[in-house]
Chain A
């Protein structure tokens, strides 16, 4: 299977999961109202979406040049991580079985993508734009922290550092999946775990919106927990990466909550210019 087909399959599965969840969680009533409201709602969160786009763009660039900069100024902390946590991931892998590997591989790839994508749609469908602004801000902060951490720290995951003890389960079971993950990950960027931080971010926000989306919480939490365990079970991340990811998630959500009402001045100015431009329909 080529990369194009892999990407297609990945998008298709994620879209399917999102669609099913949309019906179950968002509900037909809100979905029916959504098209009419969509334009207005997106306009309100434009600054936040712009910020997210900028951070993701930076992240893309950083993935290319970050490792080069990292090797010059970064700290290689692989050995220190291993010294602190020892063989924890190996112990976790001692429970491995083919069905578990399939489950966690699915969660690591598709469960994660679904978990990160779905709440954006779910929160667009709300009258209150605050959760949407908060989640885009929180994602931006996560990626922002991540970019900095990946430049400052060079760390290889357990599969790369103690291959005698930890198997690269995802890549032995599904070799081609690495073609996909390589597009977004660099093998020296394991600390902190972005998979964990974004999953925990979603879980924290799911708690905040538990009253509007009662069915989201029981989906989000087990999925997030599975993704977090998967990162370690598959030999990709250390326990400490997950702890770092959790800290990043808490920091991102806390800051996002604090800043959610504010629009930074430069963004305001850009928006003001946009307002003055003639509308074309």
Chain B
């Protein structure tokens, strides 16, 4: 009896408990998928002042604004190559402020924004932006010509200005200093393109007297002393140093093409489908720095290799990210003989097609062995990478006018003139000036700051700056009697990049609201001290910019939210609310 009673009691107790539990589960199931709202929290990755004079200032100002609209923000300063690794290889970022090298032709937007590249590394869609309209515009722009192409490119710019995969901030001026009295015919904008190095000449007084002669370039960026791999995305910005060592088929300077390793190019378009075709004849007697002859086989190898550095031996192709956009323009390449090749391009535009001819030509005997998978690498997301992409290449064999001499990490890089280069042999179209008046050696010396660079040049220990100086340097240069200032607008642009792969940055309304917190005009005044051009499009300053995207005192698409020039917090917060976000009682922006 007692037992039965006990059993009864147990039954009821367990049953009751079970009923209670199942009630709880019901409730819990109703709650699942409704996570408690927490404050929106973002990080901005950027470079410290030592590495970039402007980026951290832009990031800090934006961070302050974001905090005022109730977002929790961390600013994370990172060394340049580490930052680029996070942005361009690992895709580990939320927001970043950095410079994109830019370009004059709309072509660079193709790899930057096409959804096809959203899982690739390098400046190939680091944002993870996938938009059908954009893809379509990028594709038609490639095959159109004339006025129709212009209209597509205008529409493309409007689309990205509206959807904001990244917010263009400003195009900075390249500021440099040259010691007067030693050089003549240097470029107005300083030395940021190999062509500018080739056109530098010594003053006549010095020409006859001293041989060998040395050009001493002061740089604040030490990456060139540790890595000379033209394929390494984290170590190249404009890539001008590897441009001295490696020759392309053509070089472009001031938008006009100069035949380089190619002696001549014959263009012959196809009508249907409209495609540009080029027959390229290589310069006779071209040699690699190790003395071996450069042949059409090296050229075909280069294009095959850049498209897949694993040369077909990997599970998937492992392209060289820096040249992926350019390589995608080449549909077909076949050698005609040892010194001639025929290209068929994916575009009827000669100017666009030329971009494919500017990639560095690599010696097959050096790079073919680097097609095996790399150890300890983080280069690609699929886990596939090759030695070619991660090698430091500190014994580079190119065919450029300068060859590697020696380097000390973080201190110097020395290049010597390559006597067998055509520039030094007096080919008719280049004249003989390089051999006569050019420098025998280029010494890049790493200096800790702009101020140190200027002081060393003023003291006669250097000739010219090789890293862009900040606007702060301008008055200092002006005070030094022996220094000349060089200023030129850069095609590179500072921008705020969004990682669109995750919420809340996947929401275009959210990105637009953030973009409107950026006061580009006052950034240009205060941070860039006037040495920059505020912009709404990555093609601002080119003739591709449609009138409706021109800067008119304020951003034409997403103007800064202000009230008489002052930041209007209430209106900025209202924009986030309209985008569907809510504020807590104490003013924090809550995640959805």
Contact = CB atoms under 8 A, between A and B. Distances in A.
A179 B78 contact: no
A108 to B, nearest CB: 15
Contacts of B455: 175-176
A172 B472 CA distance: 10
A178 B449 contact: yes
5 contacts: A78-B76, A156-B48, A161-B77, A175-B454, A176-B456
A95 B38 CA distance: 41
Chain B CB within 10 Å — which of A76, A163, A171 has the most? A163
A161 B448 contact: no
Contact of B77 (A64, A160, A178): A160
Given A161-B48, A161-B56, A76 B449 contact: no
Interface string A126-154: 00000000000000000000000000000
B76 A171 contact: no
B451 A76 contact: no
A67 B50 CA distance: 15
B49 interface: yes
Contacts of A164: 57, 60-61, 527
A175 B76 contact: no
B452 A160 contact: no
Interface in A166-215: 168, 171-172, 175-176, 178-179, 181-182, 187-188
B458 to A, nearest CB: 10
Contacts of A187: 48, 50
A162 B456 CA distance: 27
User: Interface residues of B toward A: which range?
Assistant: 20 to 34
A8 interface: no
Contact of B452 (A67, A156, A176): A176
B408 to A, nearest CB: 11
A71 interface: yes
A79 interface: yes
Interface of A: 1-2, 64, 67, 71, 76, 78-79, 156, 159-164, 168, 171-172, 175-176, 178-179, 181-182, 187-188
Nearest to A67: B79
Contacts of A163: 49, 53, 56-57
B82 A71 contact: yes
Given A171-B449, A175-B449, A182-B448, A156 B77 contact: yes
B140 interface: no
A72 B79 CA distance: 12
Contacts of A79: 74-76
A239 to B, nearest CB: 18
Given A175-B454, A176-B455, A159 B448 contact: no
Contacts of B448: 171, 178-179, 181-182
Contacts of B82: 71
Contacts of B461: 2
B37 interface: no
B381 interface: no
A160 B48 contact: yes
A175 B449 CA distance: 8
A77 to B, nearest CB: 10
Chain A CB within 10 Å — which of B49, B50, B76, B461 has the most? B49
Contacts of A64: 409
Contact of B75 (A71, A161, A182): A161
Nearest to A157: B48
A179 B456 CA distance: 10
Interface in B423-473: 447-449, 451-452, 454-456, 459, 461
Contacts of B50: 156, 160, 187
A95 to B, nearest CB: 22
A265 to B, nearest CB: 37
Contacts of A188: 79
Contacts of B447: 179
Nearest to B47: A160
Contacts of A178: 448-449, 451-452
Contacts of A156: 48, 50, 77
A159 B60 CA distance: 13
Contacts of B409: 64
A172 B456 CA distance: 14
Interface in B510-542: 527
A179 B452 contact: yes
Contacts of A71: 79, 82
A150 B505 CA distance: 34
Nearest to A80: B74
Contacts of B56: 160-163
B223 to A, nearest CB: 13
Contacts of A160: 48-50, 56, 77
Nearest to A185: B448
Nearest 7 Cβ contacts at the A-B interface: A175-B451, A160-B48, A178-B448, A163-B49, A175-B452, A156-B48, A79-B74
Contacts of A67: 79
B166 to A, nearest CB: 22
A78 B459 contact: no
Nearest to B452: A175
Interface in B63-102: 74-79, 82
A76 B452 contact: no
Nearest to A71: B82
Contacts of A181: 448
A280 B527 CA distance: 67
Nearest to A165: B60
A178 B456 CA distance: 12
Contact of A1 (B53, B75, B459): B459
A71 B85 CA distance: 11
Contacts of B48: 156, 160-161, 187
Given A171-B452, A175-B452, 7 more contacts: A76-B77, A78-B76, A160-B50, A171-B451, A175-B451, A178-B451, A181-B448
